[in-house]
Chain A
Amino acid sequence: MINLNKNIIRSILIPSYVLIIVIVISGISSLFAYLNTGADRSSMLHTKLEKIEQYIPEVIWSPLNNEGRPMDEEVLKKIENDYLDAWYVKLVAYKTNTTFGIKDYYTDNARKNIFDFVELNTKEKVTVESTTLNHHPTLEFFSEDGQLAVITDKEVLEYKRVFKDEKLVLETTEKSTYKIIVLLEDGFWRIRHFVKERSERFKIEPDLIAAEHLNIKGINYYPQATPWDMFGDAFLINTISNDFKIIKDSGLNSIRVFVQYDDFGKADVDKEKLEKLRLTLDAAEENGLKVVVTLFDFYGDYSVLNWTLNRRHARTIVSGLKDHKAIVAWDIKNEPNLDFDSRGKVNVISWLDTMIDLVKSIDPNHPVTIGWSNVQSASILKDKVDIVSFHYYEDIKTLDLAIENLKKEVGEKPIVLQEFGMSSYAGIWKPFGSSEEDQANYHKKAQEIIAAYNLQFMSWTLYDFETVPKAVIGSLPWRKNVQKRFGFIDINGTKKAAFKFISQ
């Protein structure tokens, strides 16, 4: 008995001793680890600077034909980096009326001018939110000792929003030409002189593309297993291809897919995701389907200083896919009007406006649209888009009235009813929801209206889903569960009654 007790005590004591030692050692080691953190010696000098892309306007250098010393690519790249950083710190300075970073990129004499402006604008309570979208620099001169360069930056596209007492006074886009002298000081190419030589207001007359003939009869598409995560790790091209066959066989001719801004790598577009998108387009082409690609899904910042990043993202995707035969149109953004309250209507609309210009400048052959979430917003920027798109989840009975009103506002411009549908969910979270029969009737009625007004359409959506991510509709169960049942095909792969009315 005593022996047993001893053994029990031993078996407790030994592991607890080991445990205490482990805790003490790990405690000491984490203390050591903590004491070893802090300034890294290599960071004492400016030897290694982490480059975070925060401002990447499009820069196109003229061919080098400068006077003085011949320029090499590396120095030019360094000048470009520091020159853009100089712009960036200036833009931040005028946005916040602080002078952080100015010292690094402007010489003693030049920085005084910026400080004076910040002081004046602080006094007058003026702030300027601005960015530059394009630069066309020419190297005019590079001194023999490699310490001084003169640049003419032509047609700098500047977007500005000027506030007084935090109230927007003016929004302007200017195209200006600057002459700049930069000096190499302390390893930085610093601005010494900055002279504006020309400036004019900039306005692109939209080059509209006819879209009446497209006859889009389509559906919004997510694979059943991976809704809102179409290009993730579970990407299966065969599943997608089979789904496309189902869509084609049902009499439809197009689909709408979504490119999520963060998921696709923001400014630095993930090549793998882009390749998956291309495979999807290939599959659509094989099945005779056209694709509306919706950009900037789940993006909601719009702040002026981030525009260059957004544009790099759009530029990469649009220029990469513009020649694909499956593309039918670009949808700039899904339901941007939902951000009006949180981000400001002016911010959102001016963002969309310049983004349309960009997409059209890269791809002049495909029409552009915006997927407004309701019919009231659908006429915003109607003169810039080629197709007016809106989503309709309200009472089907008032759809014809909504269309009539919209037609009055947008005139001849083709209209796409870009999302519509009804959930067949009726259950514990919504006891008086709609049945599959109600859903079928809804689509029947919708198709009648579509036929009557000769609309183009894209319904929501092919499948019922098992899960809906929180980011889509929130985590409230009465919303999530409704959202899961919008499909024409249910969870088990059986076609619902509404499938009959998927197309005309």
Chain B
Amino acid sequence: MRNKYTYLSFLALILSSLFTLVQDREVTQSFTLETTQTEFEAGSPMALKFSTSRETRPLLYCSSSYGSTLIVPTYKSKSLIYDVPFNISSKIGLVNWKLTYENSSVSGKFHIHPKKEVSSMETYIGPPSIEAGGTDYTMLVVIPTDSLDNPFPENTLVLAKHQFLNSEKSEEIFTEDLISYKTIYSEKESGRLLVSSEALGINSKEFSVAVFPAIPIDFKISATRPHDYADGNQVTTFSTSILVDQHNNIVSDATYVTFFITNEKGNILKTSGATINGIATSKMIHPDYETEWSVKAYVDGIAESELIILRYKQVIKDFEVVFSENNRVITVGPLQSFMKQIIPDGLQVKLLIYKNETLFKTETKTSFEGFVNFNLKPDIYKNDSYTIVVKTAGLEKIFNSKIL
């Protein structure tokens, strides 16, 4: 059934050829074309035969789709035979010829049609990846060609077949302008689309097109943390809900999510992660002083999460400061955490030294085994009266008029 159209078109071609003028007659008394066939199949032997009473052997000019040449005849019993070379006879299209002799000429044309069997399905498909959702599409272009690399004529039937999830479709398309094409739209789901085609019983290879999820819609985020103390040591982990597109397809892995953390002072911390199976996670170390974080995540320019609030409790209630060796050695500590345990190493302690109410020097150290020692060297700190401020974990202690 599906071949019916092809056969019909071939029949029509053959019929129409019967009415085609064989040659444009100009001055034909010397050389008369005897070949009546004007429709040939590519690759078949072709020859133009002229009857003549003359002795001259004019060359035949012959021009096909790709080029032109001159053919030398062979002479056999009062006729000249011009064998069309294979480069011309193997390619489809119109061939025009002209025999010129002594200022007069005979000319004519013949058509070459492709062989009746398809040998390969020249297939182009693109784009190779499309978006799920039914609006994006890919395009299949098929050029059925015969064994001599000739495309088929108009209205050759081609079946465009594709499979996606549970559906398998086959549609009839027809060649036009040497090609046939079909646009294939995505469906709501993401996945892999397999495409092939068939013409005159010959099938193409399998081609695949990736149907990627569309862009994510807005999502939620959550945070998990070992405790809610601002110890500057533990890590809070943020994670998104499963990012999906509007048709509930999980977005492609490595979709980049950025978490913006705004603290009470209005400072912004940023951390980011890429999705795996739709979930992106990212981490941030706890603050070392009591504060509140507002966290919101974004897929830049595409989607955002709702806001979550995290409260961090003060971890050090109070601390001791001991001055020794003429106030030149300052010992801060023990720094104790929420269960009175020694705070883990690394808590920042800042020492601000004022002289005559102007800031003279700032020294920063981190705690080690609960203590921080500052040693004020006499080279820098001449003997004088200083105001000393100790800051840590959001707390502050002021010591006025310390004489060094």
**Chain A contacts to B: CB under 8 angstroms:** 67-69, 90, 94, 109, 113-114, 116-117, 120-121, 124, 126, 128, 130, 140-141, 143-145, 147-148, 150, 152, 160, 162, 164, 169-170, 172, 174, 176, 178-179, 181, 183, 193-201
Contact = CB atoms under 8 A, between A and B. Distances in A.
Given A169-B59, A193-B150, 7 more contacts: A69-B139, A113-B67, A121-B67, A160-B68, A172-B98, A194-B66, A195-B91
Interface string B143-179: 1000001110000000000000000000000000111
Nearest to A130: B68
B177 A179 contact: yes
Interface of B: 59, 61, 63-70, 72, 85-87, 91-96, 98, 100, 107, 109, 124-128, 137-139, 141, 143, 149-151, 177-179, 181, 183
5 contacts: A128-B69, A141-B179, A164-B59, A164-B70, A170-B100
A459 B397 CA distance: 114
A164 to B, nearest CB: 5
Contacts of A113: 65-67, 87, 91
Contact of A145 (B126, B150, B151): B126
Given A126-B69, A143-B141, A178-B65, A169 B87 contact: no
B126 A147 contact: yes
A68 B181 contact: yes
Contact of B100 (A143, A169, A178, A194): A169
Nearest to A181: B178
A130 to B, nearest CB: 8
In this complex, which of B70, B85, B126, B149 has the most chain A Cβ atoms within 10 angstroms of its Cβ? Answer: B70
B380 to A, nearest CB: 56
B139 A143 contact: yes
A172 B87 contact: no
A90 B65 CA distance: 12
B20 to A, nearest CB: 13
B147 to A, nearest CB: 12
Contacts of B124: 143, 145, 147-148, 183
**What 4 pairs across the A-B complex have the smallest Cβ distances?**
A145-B126, A144-B139, A117-B67, A196-B93
Nearest to B109: A199
A474 to B, nearest CB: 39
B69 A198 contact: no
A170 B62 CA distance: 11
Given A199-B94, A199-B96, A193 B67 contact: no
Nearest to A116: B87
Contact of B143 (A90, A172, A193): A193
B181 A141 contact: yes
Contacts of B183: 144
B108 to A, nearest CB: 11
Given A124-B69, A197-B93, A144 B87 contact: no
Contacts of A176: 94
Tell me whether chain B's interface is mostly helix, strand or loop, or mixed.
Answer: strand
Contacts of A144: 126-127, 137-139, 183
Contacts of A150: 177-179
Contacts of B72: 124
A109 B149 contact: yes
B98 A195 contact: no
B178 A114 contact: no
Nearest to A193: B151
A52 B72 CA distance: 39
Contacts of A69: 139
Contacts of B139: 68-69, 143-145
Given A140-B177, A150-B177, A164-B70, A195 B65 contact: yes
Contacts of A124: 69-70, 72
Given A109-B149, A114-B67, A195 B126 contact: no
Nearest to A90: B67
A197 B107 contact: no
A162 B68 contact: yes
B94 A198 contact: yes
Nearest to A119: B87
A460 to B, nearest CB: 38
Contacts of A160: 63, 68
B61 A181 contact: no
B104 to A, nearest CB: 13
Nearest to B179: A150
Given A144-B137, A144-B183, A196-B93, A126 B70 contact: yes
B87 A174 contact: no
Contacts of A170: 59, 61, 70, 98, 100
B151 A195 contact: yes
A391 B151 CA distance: 57
Contacts of A179: 177-178
Nearest to B72: A124
A197 B94 contact: yes
A148 B98 contact: no
A305 to B, nearest CB: 16
Contacts of B181: 67-68, 141, 143
B149 A169 contact: no
A196 B94 contact: yes
